[in-house]
Structure 1
Amino acid sequence: MTTTSRAHSFNAAAAAYAANRPSYPPALLDAVEELAGRPLAGARVADIGAGTGIATALLQERGARIVAVEPGDGMTEQFRRTLPRVPVVRGDGNSLPLADASADFITYAQSWHWTDPARSAPEAMRVLRPGGALALWWNVSDQEVEWVAEQQARIGSFFGGSDIVLGAHGTAQRTLETGGLDFTDRTVHWTREVSTDTHLANLASHSVFLVAGEEATAEFVAQERAVLADVFPQGVVREAYAVDLCVAIR
């Protein structure tokens, strides 16, 4: 299965993605502003690979003036339902449909790893104004939490890939190596509590499940539901995340 196929697998599951994926904590955007050395309020922000608008909504709440860029049909349709007043244009990070020096921030939430950094890094620098910031982040399952690490191991065993990490498909560093940019890193830990059904639907919205197909996903979900019933007998799962944040200044 190609990277492109995995990237576009989300389009058929856009509604489930919007309903079940986690958002991001306020501390993340605080860290973005701190590392960028400027506020989001009033800034021109291009949110690339915006998906259903989970991060875009938070940026808008901070007072940013946003244009979203999204390549997928299904994700764009869901984005327009969620954020009808935010402009969204079709395109991807490898060839941004944006003017030179037109953005104060370029953000990638869960989406930089779908680009070719050798192309997307210079594109970001082209679109950023001098002093502007490129901010990349990923919600990664926090494997310092025992039950999370055990679940990740079960996912890896089921799908035959011991290095599967939901959220980033590998470490942030690997996706940055060919970008040639000087990034400052920060990790933000946070949790959310959701029902077992929402947690399992969140898992099923990741590309490793989407490309595996409904039968394989249903088999894993059934097995995992039984495990979670022992770990969280009240039916409320405390998901734990480590948000990997990387910021580079033009």
Structure 2
Amino acid sequence: MTASSRAHSFNAAADQYAASRPSYPPELFDHIEQLTSRPLTRARAADIGAGTGIATALLRERGAEVIAVEPGDAMAATFHILLPDVPIIRGDGNALPLADSSHDLITYAQSWQWTDTSRSVPEALRVLRPGGALAIWWNTTAFDVPWIREQHQRIAHHCQVKPTSPARPDDSDAIRLAGLSGLRVARHQVRWSRVVSLDTHLANISSRSAFLVLAESDTRAFLSEERGRLRERFPNEAVEETYVVDLLVATRP
């Protein structure tokens, strides 16, 4: 299964994605402001790979003048329903449909890994104004929570993907993986959690690309077993999900 196929698999579950995926804590945007040395209020921002608009909405709430860029038909359609006043353009991070030196901030929430950094980094630099910033972040696995670590391993085994190492990468590894080794990059992590119903939790994990490319019967069987395990741990079916947001901010010279 190619990375492109996995990236486009989200279109089959746009409504599920919008309803179950976690958002981001306010502290994340405080750190973006600190690391870029400018407020989000009135900043001209572009949210790339915006999906259903989870990050876009939060940027707008912080006062940014934000536009979204999204390649997927179904994701863009759901975005239009949820954020009818926010402009959205069809496109992707490898060829941004934005003018040169036109934005103060470009963001990638959970979407940087779907780009070809040999193309997306030059594109970001082209679109950013001098002194502008590229902010990339992910909700990552809180490996120090035993049940979350164990579930991560079960998911990786079931989906036949390599599990992420619980060892925290150092800054140079994070920069290398993001394709930003030639830029001045700052990194910060924010730990947060949310409590959701068991149904929402299962919908969240099954909205990941590794599941979306599997046969429906395979996913259904896994979720049935997982429901049983989690009912033993959370008998009231209120699941506390813990995340560590990994933020990278690269500033354009």
Q: TM-score, normalised by structure 2?
A: 0.94
Q: Is the 8 A contact 2:43 2:64 kept in 1?
A: yes
Q: Is the 8 A contact 1:117 1:175 kept in 2?
A: no
Aligned with 1:177 (options 176, 179, 200): 179
Checking the alignment, whether the CA contact within 8 Å between 2:180 and 2:250 is kept in structure 1 is no
| Cα displacement (A) at 1:212 | 1.0
Q: Is the 8 A contact 1:120 1:179 kept in 2?
A: no
Question: C-alpha displacement at 1:183, in angstroms?
Answer: 1.5
8 A Cα contact 1:155 1:164, kept in partner: no
Q: How far apart, CA to CA, are the structure 1 residues paired with 2:180 and 2:61? A: 33
**Deviations 1:124-175 (Å, cap 9, x if unpaired)?**
011000111100000112111111101111112222334258xxxxx85453
- CA contact under 8 A between 2:175 and 2:185: conserved in structure 1? no
Q: Structure 1 regions of 5+ residues with no counterpart? A: 166-170
2:69 aligned residue? 69
User: How do 1:157-196 and structure 2 match up within 5 A?
Assistant: 157-164=157-164, 172-173=174-175, 175-177=177-179, 180-196=182-198
Q: Secondary structure in 1 aligned to 2:245?
A: strand
Contact 1:20 1:199 in 2 (8 A): yes
2:122 aligns with: 122
Q: 1:22 deviation in Å?
A: 0.5
Distance 2:179 2:104 in 1: 24
SS of the residue corresponding to residue 241 of structure 1 reads strand
1:177 deviation in Å? 3.5
Q: Tell me if the contact between 1:23 and 1:54 (Cα under 8 Å) persists in the aligned partners.
A: yes
Contact persistence 1:105–1:132 (CA under 8 A): yes
The aligned residue for residue 202 of structure 2 is 200
Instruction: Tell me, yes or no, if structure 1 residue 210 matches structure 2 residue 222.
Output: no
- The CA deviation string for residues 25-82 of structure 1, in whole angstroms up to 9 with x for no partner, is 0000011111111010000001000000000000000010011100000100000001
Q: What residue is the counterpart of 1:249 in the other structure?
A: 251
CA–CA distance in 2 between the matches of 1:182 and 1:176? Answer: 13
Compute the RMSD of aligned alpha carbons: 1.4
Contact 2:21/2:204 (<8 A) preserved: yes
Indicate whether 1:223 and 2:213 are aligned: no
Counterpart Cα distance in 1 of 2:230 and 2:91: 39
Aligned mates of 2:159, 2:212 — CA distance in 1? 12
Give the Cα–Cα distance (whole angstroms) in 2 for the partners of residues 179 and 10 of structure 1.
Answer: 29
- 1:168 matched to which residue of 2? none
Residue 59 (structure 1) aligns with: 59
| Gaps in structure 2 of 5+ consecutive residues | 166-172
- Which stretch of structure 1 is more off in the superposition, 118-127 or 155-164? 155-164
CA distance in 2, matches of 1:175, 1:62: 29
What's the secondary structure of 1:51's corresponding residue?
A: coil
Q: CA deviation at 1:219?
A: 0.9
Contact 1:118-1:178 within 8 A present in 2 as well: no
1:154 aligns with 2:154: yes
- On the 8 A contact 2:185/2:250 being kept in 1, the answer is yes
Identity %: 58
Give yes or no for contact 2:193–2:242 (8 Å, CA) kept in 1: yes
Q: Structure 1 178/186 Cα, relative in aligned 2: closer, same or farther at 3 Å?
A: closer
| Equivalence map 1:3-82=2 (5 Å) | 3-82=3-82
2:22 is paired with a residue whose SS is coil
TM-score in terms of structure 1 length: 0.95
Cα 1:163–1:174 change in 2 (3 A) is farther
After TM superposition, give the deviation of residue 10 of structure 1 in Å.
Answer: 0.3
What SS is found at the alignment partner of 1:183?
Answer: strand
